[in-house]
Amino acid sequence: MTTDASSEDDALATLAAHGMLCEILALRAGLRESVRDIARESEVPGLKEAAKRLDLDLIISTERVALHPSGTFERVPSCHPGADRRIVYIGTREGCIRARRHEEDGHIARLGSVLGYPECCIEFYVAQPKRDIPVAIHGRSKRFDIHAHSLLRGITGHGFISNFPCSYACPQAVSLGKTVRKLLCEHDPAFEKDMLRYLASPLLYLGDGREVLLTDGVVKDNEVRDISVALRPAALDLPDFDTVRLDDEEVVFLKEGRAVKWVGKKAGPCILFRFG
Ligand SMILES: [Zn+2]
């Protein structure tokens, strides 16, 4: 099959709509052997067709995956209600098969290598208890460089890198993010500008993988003001607010200076990621 430019652009647009653009650009530049994501089974044929137009293969996990109300994913038996998703691997056939085998055998460090993650970040990740990895990274971060910011992947699908870094100032993660940013600039500068708006906004972590992006918010002391849009998992039923104040670990949402009530519960310590 010959791949003309417009067919290639269509294919990249399909993958971009699924939040995979940066990873596919990195794959095509030889920075990784496979891209890994989660998709509904009904989305797989469209993604497979897009991959084929780019001369790439797509394979799916033998296991099924379900989405939790908190916005996190879990591998589940096929009889599980809501088990309508699969892990998809895109890349060379060999890279995809290797990624799937490492994942299904539980060799997470080997999977990380196939996905092009920095060694230091892989070592950090495999040594951590799975719960509250963002809290551990936050504690190790002296700076919050947007090039190493992958927390938005669950909210907007955005991020120059797709792994948890060992810190938000990790030189390897920052360098990888800068390289991918350059590739994105060459491919679609308008998309890069859009991404930056989100990556440069502060982020509130409510524990248990739940995050709220405080878009355009300005951090001053223990307050984030001038928030224009708050993006979060649908299950997190937050009030309408324009300011967030952190009193110790307590979160107070404010609208035009008045506290507004949030009936939800945070699952762990509340942390502010000072990106931007
Ligand atoms: Zn690292």
Q: Tell which of 96, 116, 136 closes a domain.
A: 116
Say if residue 1's pLDDT is above 70: no
Dmax (CA) of the chain? 61
The pLDDT score that the predictor gives to residue 51 is 98
Cα of 177 to ligand 1 centre, how many Å? 12
Mean pLDDT of the chain: 90
Question: Ligand 1 centroid vs 235 CA: distance in angstroms?
Answer: 31
Q: Please give the distance, rounded to the nearest whole angstrom, from the Cα atom of residue 125 to the centre of ligand 1.
A: 9
CA 148 to ligand 1 centroid distance, Å = 9
- Domain edge (last residue) among 116, 141, 169: 116
Q: How far is the CA of 145 from the centre of ligand 1 (A)?
A: 12
Domain final position from 79, 101, 116: 116
pLDDT higher than threshold 60 for residue 3: no
Is pLDDT above 60 for 61?
A: yes
Q: How confident is the model at residue 94 (pLDDT cuts 50, 70, 90)?
A: very high
In a domain, 42, yes or no: yes
CB atoms within 10 A of CB 20: 24
Mean pLDDT of 22-39: 96
Residue 173 maps to a domain: no
* Separation of CA 169 and ligand 1 centre (Å): 8
127: in domain: no
Residues 111 and 222 in one domain: no
Answer yes or no: is 168 within a domain.
no
Distance (Å, whole) CA 56 – CA 50: 9
How many structural domains are present in the chain?
2
User: In this predicted model, what pLDDT tens digit does every residue of 136-164 receive, in sequence order?
Assistant: 999 999 999 999 999 887 777 789 999 99
Distance CA 6, CA 103 (A): 34
Task: Specify the range with the lowest mean pLDDT, choosing from 37-51, 58-72, 115-129, 200-214.
Answer: 58-72
pTM for this one? 0.90
Task: Report the distance separating Cα 27 and Cα 21, nearest Å.
Answer: 10
Residue 86 lies in a domain: yes
SS3 annotation, 224-260: EECCCEEECCCCCCCCCCCEEEEECCEEEEEECCEEE
Whether 160 is covered by a domain: the verdict is no
Ligand 1 mean position, distance from CA 81 (Å): 37
Residue 72, pLDDT > 70, answer: no
Q: Ligand 1 centre from 174 Cα, in Å? A: 9
Q: How many CA atoms does the CB half-sphere of 243 hold within 13 Å?
A: 14
What CATH number is given to the structural domain containing 110? 3.30.2190
Residue 117, pLDDT score: 98
Helix axis angle, 171-187 to 189-199, nearest 10°: 140
Domain that holds residue 62: 1-116
Task: Report residue 164 as tokens.
Answer: 């948890």
Answer yes or no: is 167 within a domain: no
Stronger pLDDT, 208 or 42, i.e. the higher one: 42
Let me know if residue 210 belongs to a domain.
yes
- For the chain, what percent of residues have pLDDT higher than 70? 96
- Clarify whether residues 110 and 1 are in a common domain: yes
* Nearest Cα residue to 209 out of 74, 59, 79: 74
Is 2 in the same domain as 96? Answer: yes
Q: How confident is the model at residue 69 (pLDDT cuts 50, 70, 90)?
A: low
Is 80 exceeded by the pLDDT of residue 233?
no
Q: Indicate whether 70 pLDDT > 80.
A: no
pLDDT band per the 50, 70, 90 thresholds, residue 82: confident
- What pLDDT is attached to residue 120? 98
Whole-number Å distance, alpha carbon 203 to ligand 1 midpoint, is: 21
Using the mean position of ligand 1's atoms as its centre, give its distance from the Cα of residue 21 in Å.
22
Contacts of 31 (CB under 8 A, 6+ apart): 116, 176, 179, 180
Q: What is the predicted pLDDT for the residue at 113? A: 97
The whole-number average pLDDT for the span 60-86 is: 79
Please tell me the distance between residue 164's alpha carbon and the centre of ligand 1 in angstroms.
8
Banded model confidence at residue 80, pLDDT cuts 50, 70, 90 = confident
